[in-house]
Amino acid sequence: KQIVGVECKDATTSRFFQLRARREVILCAGAFESPALLLSSGIGLAEELAAMDIEPTAGGSPLPVGHNLKDHILLPRVVITNQFVASRSASMVSALKYTECNGSRFSFMLTDATAFNSLTPYFMARDLRLHTTGPFSKILNFLSEMAFRFAYCIVTLLVRTPLLDFLRYGAVSVPLALLNPKSTGQVMLRRKSKPSNTNIARRSDFELDIDLGYLSDPRDMESMQAGFDVMTEQCSDWLAGKEVLPGLRYPKKPGWFRKYCLEQFEPYFHFCGTCAMGEEDAGVVDSSLRLRSYKGVRVCDASVLPTTLSNPTALSCAALGLQFSDLLRKELGPQD
């Protein structure tokens, strides 16, 4: 099956137009949008495409597009201390340690407790927002989050300077990150408008339907517990003081760590794996980043990484792009 170009939508006139590729289409839309564009084009597993009301593209083999969504898992830990051990550096991270335990890889970071204060309204709203179901649930949850954000802004205006100074010099945050989780999620699509008269499925007809899959594999909970214990042992100087989270909020009762982990874990936003490079049925792209069983299209972004890396993905994606450009130069020759 030959891919010959892309269809675009003019943001001003809302008209669709097509761009033809002279050689190949290079898809670099990220771990969410790259699989979304392929799925809306009818490339994926036939039964899943049918469930999304998308006609599979004829002539191509089924590919597990959107599967294998992965991300690092972040677990916060906050300590009140009388020792100023974290600096206000541009990166917000004062110290970083890597370790491995029973096949699981972890990183421990030391920051002052204000490093991520801009996210406070999000965390507060997440903990306090109404958990309703029914036809008006989205509206009620949205209104509750806006109310919490407004209240946070008022409080910030009144007590921001002394409070942040106390947190900056009197508390530290020591997040634990699981770098090789076993859990996987999936990127899917949900139709939001009826098919047009042309019966062509377009990306704009769908919204993302993402199952992040965090901690869905029981081994990840065991790894987080092991990493927490290792952190307690190896980072005792960082943790010197009164532990607020999980210490005060989660008394050491049976099942406390599971509850703490499920309620407090955060995404690290290092998403990858949804158009994974791999062999035969397990992969969406091959080692040259070509879409399997299709001609004329390649994918080059974090979605092709088959597993999470032991570091943030930004520089890894830059290195991937550099290597991919070298590959294209070798294939096309100096004249192109």
> Does residue 201 have a pLDDT over 70?
yes
Most confidently modeled range among 131-145, 147-161, 174-188, 241-255: 174-188
**In the prediction, which pLDDT does 94 show?**
67
The three-state secondary structure class of 20 is: strand
> Does residue 319 have a pLDDT over 90?
yes
Compute the CA torsion angle 140, 145, 151, 152 (nearest 10 deg): 170
Beta strand residue intervals within the chain, DSSP E: 5-9, 16-20, 25-27, 73-75, 78-80, 95-101, 104-112, 171-173, 176-178, 186-191, 206-211, 242-245, 266-267, 297-299
**In the prediction, which pLDDT does 332 show?**
81
Cα Rg of the chain (Å, integer): 23
**Domain positions in the chain:** 5-69+184-212+271-332, 73-127+169-182+217-267
Rounded to whole angstroms, the Cα distance separating 193 from 238 reads 53
Q: Which of 49, 75, 61 is nearest to 221 (CA)?
A: 75
**In the prediction, which pLDDT does 86 show?**
45
Rounded to whole angstroms, the Cα distance separating 151 from 121 reads 9
**In the prediction, which pLDDT does 155 show?**
67
Percent of the chain whose predicted confidence (pLDDT) is above 90 = 50
**In the prediction, which pLDDT does 120 show?**
53
CATH 3.50.50.60 describes domain 5-69+184-212+271-332? yes
Residue 218: is the preceding peptide bond cis (ω within 30°)? no
Helical (H) or strand (E) element with 151: helix 137-170
Rounded to whole angstroms, the Cα distance separating 104 from 224 reads 9
**In the prediction, which pLDDT does 308 show?**
93
> Does residue 224 have a pLDDT over 70?
yes
Q: How many helices and strands in the chain, by DSSP H and E?
A: 7, 14
**In the prediction, which pLDDT does 261 show?**
95
